[in-house]
Amino acid sequence: MAADRPDGGRHGDRRRGAPSPMAAERRRGDRRYLDLKLLVGLFHETGSVELEAILAGCPVREFAAEHILLHPGEHNTVLYIVLAGHLAVKLDPQDPDPVVIDPGDCVGEMSIIDGEPASAYVIAAAGTRLLVVDEAIFWQRIVPLPGVARNLMRAQTRRMRQGNQALLAKQRQQLQLIALERDLAAAAEIQRGLLPRDFAKLCARPQLEVHGLMRPAREIGGDFYDAFFIGENRLFFAVGDVSDKGIAAALFMARSLTLLRTEALHAGSPLAVIEGVNRALCQDNPQSMFVTLVCGSIDLADGTVTLAHGGHPPPLRLAGATAQFVDWPVGSVPGVMEDLPFAATTLRLAPGETLLLYTDGVTEARNAAGEMFGDERLRRAATGAMHLPAEILDGAIRDAVDAFATDVEPFDDLTLLALRYRG
C-alpha cells in the first residue's frame, strides 16, 4: 500500500504526465523568477499556468558585474525579460541619462519584429538576471497569449515617451550650453578689452619698447598684465595671477586690475600701490581669493626701475648676452590679510636691456611626462631670443612652452610682459 504524501497524494501513485520531484523543484525555482512578472510588464493579465509552461525551458542569464549585452549594429534574435536588477539603454556608453529597463519589462523585441540590428547599447547592471526567450518561442507561443501584443505596445509607447523626454532634456541642456558658450565668448572678448593691446602707442616714445600677451587656459582666465604712463616720463606696468580659474577668477582679475589702475594714479610708489590693492581686496573677499602681483615703474630719463611684488615669480633681466633672475625677496600675497608687509627693490636698466615679467603658467607648464618647463628652460629660451623685438620675444617664449608641453592641455593661464629700455 502506498504511503501518504504531504500534498495529499500517495507515493507510488504518480499519474501519467505528473512531474517528477526534480522537475517540480525546477518549476518551483522557475516560479521564483516568474511570480513578479504575472501582474506587470509583458505578461500582465496572462495566465500563470500557461505562462510557466512556455517559459519553463527558457534559460536565465545572471551578471555578477556590469556587462554590455548588445552593441549598436549587432543582430539580435532573442527577447530579454528583466527578472531582477535593470538594463540601461544608451546611444553612447558614457551617456549619463540612459533609458532604464526595470524588472517586468523587456528589451530586444524591436530587433525580432523588424529584423534590424540593435540601434543602441544595452548594458546589464551588476546583479541583473534575465530570462532569455528565443524568437521562435516569442512568435509561436508568446505573442498569441492574451494581452501580450497590447502589453508590448504599451511598453514600446512608454519607452518612446521616455526617449522623447530624454531627448528634450538633452536639447534643453544643449541650448543652455550654447547660451553659456556665447556668454563665455563675450566675456573673453570683454576681458581681452581690459588689457592693453595698442602697443604701438606705448612704443611711440623712442626710449621704450613694450609688448604683452595673455593666453587663458580656459575661455577666460585670471591672469592679467598692464602698462600705461603715469607721468611725462614714467611708465607704470604690472603682471598678476589670480588664485582660481574660470569665471570667478576673471571677475576677481577685473576687480584687481581696476584697483591697481586706481592706486597707480594716486599712490606715490609701486610699494604703496600694492599695499593699497591689498587693503581693498581684503575688505570684501567672501571667497578668500588672492592674487600674486608684481608692479613697477620705469623712469624713461635714466632707466631706473622700481619694483614691488606680492608672492610673484621674479622677473628676468636680459642684459648683454645673459638672462638672470632679479634678486627677489620673499613677499606677502595680496588679498590674504590687511597690513601685510610687501617687498620692493630698485634696479637700473642700461640701454638695450630688457625686463621680462611672466606668470607661473610659463614655468609650471608640464609635458606628457609630468615635467615642468621650469626656470632654467625659461632662462635659456629668453637668452636665445633676447635681441629680438619685444613682440617676437614674447612669442618665442610662448612657442617654447608650447613645444615643451605639446599634446598636453594647459592647466594654467600664460602671461608675458616684455619691457626694453632703449635709452
Contact criterion met (CB below 8 Å) for 213 and 416: yes
Mean pLDDT of 284-293: 88
Domain architecture of the chain: domains with CATH = 21-167 (2.60.120.10), 196-421 (3.60.40.10)
**Spatial distance between the Cα atoms of 32 and 62, rounded to a whole number of angstroms:** 14
pLDDT at 46: 62
Q: Is the pLDDT of residue 26 over 70?
A: no
Task: State how far the Cα of 142 lies from the Cα of 132, in Å rounded to an integer.
Answer: 13
Question: pLDDT at position 163, please?
Answer: 66
pLDDT band at 12 (very low <50, low <70, confident <90, very high): very low
**pLDDT score recorded for residue 404:** 95
Residue 140: pLDDT band (50, 70, 90) is confident
Task: Quick: pLDDT tens for 318-328.
Answer: 998 889 999 88
Cα–Cα distance measured from residue 389 to residue 286, given in angstroms and rounded to the nearest whole number: 43
The stretch 119-130 carries a mean pLDDT of: 92
The answer to whether residue 14 scores a pLDDT higher than 60 is no
What kind and span of H or E run contains 79? strand 78-84
Which amino acid is present at 191?
A: Q
Query: For 36-61, what is the mean pLDDT?
Result: 66
Task: Over range 346-356, report the average pLDDT.
Answer: 95
Comparing 244-253, 256-265, 293-302, 392-401, the range with the smallest average pLDDT is: 244-253
pLDDT at 56 over 80: no
The answer to whether residue 308 scores a pLDDT higher than 70 is yes
- Residue 388 is predicted with a pLDDT of 92
Distances (CA, A) of 363 to 194, 257, 354, 371: 25, 23, 19, 10
Average per-residue pLDDT in the chain? 83
Name the band, by pLDDT with cuts 50, 70 and 90, for residue 36: very low
* Average pLDDT for 210-216: 93
| Percent share of the chain, pLDDT over 90 | 46
pLDDT in tens, 370-402: 999 999 999 999 999 999 999 999 999 999 999
pLDDT of 333 higher than 50: yes
pLDDT over 80 at 76, yes or no: yes
Q: State the Cα–Cα distance between residues 104 and 84, nearest whole angstrom.
A: 8
- Looking at residue 101, its pLDDT comes to 86
**pLDDT at residue number 184:** 80
CA-based torsion, 119, 124, 128, 134: positive or negative: positive
CB under 8 A, 24+ apart: contacts of 362-366? 362/397, 362/401, 362/414, 362/415, 362/416, 363/313, 364/412, 365/401, 365/404, 365/405, 365/410, 365/412, 365/414, 366/405, 366/408, 366/411
Are 260 and 281 in contact, with CB atoms under 8 Å apart? Answer: no
Q: Is the pTM of this model over 0.85?
A: no
Buried b (16+ CB within 10 A) or exposed e, 137-176: bbeebbeebeebeebbeebeeebeeeeeebeeeeeeeeee
pLDDT band at residue 92 under the 50/70/90 scheme: confident
Grid cell locating 309: 611684488
Whether the pLDDT of residue 134 is over 50: the answer is yes
Query: In this predicted structure, which of 51-60, 277-286, 308-317 has the lowest mean pLDDT?
Result: 51-60
Question: Cβ of 18: how many Cβ atoms within 10 Å?
Answer: 10
Work out the angle between the directed axes of helices 48-55 and 21-34 (0-180°, nearest 10). Answer: 110
pLDDT at 354: 96
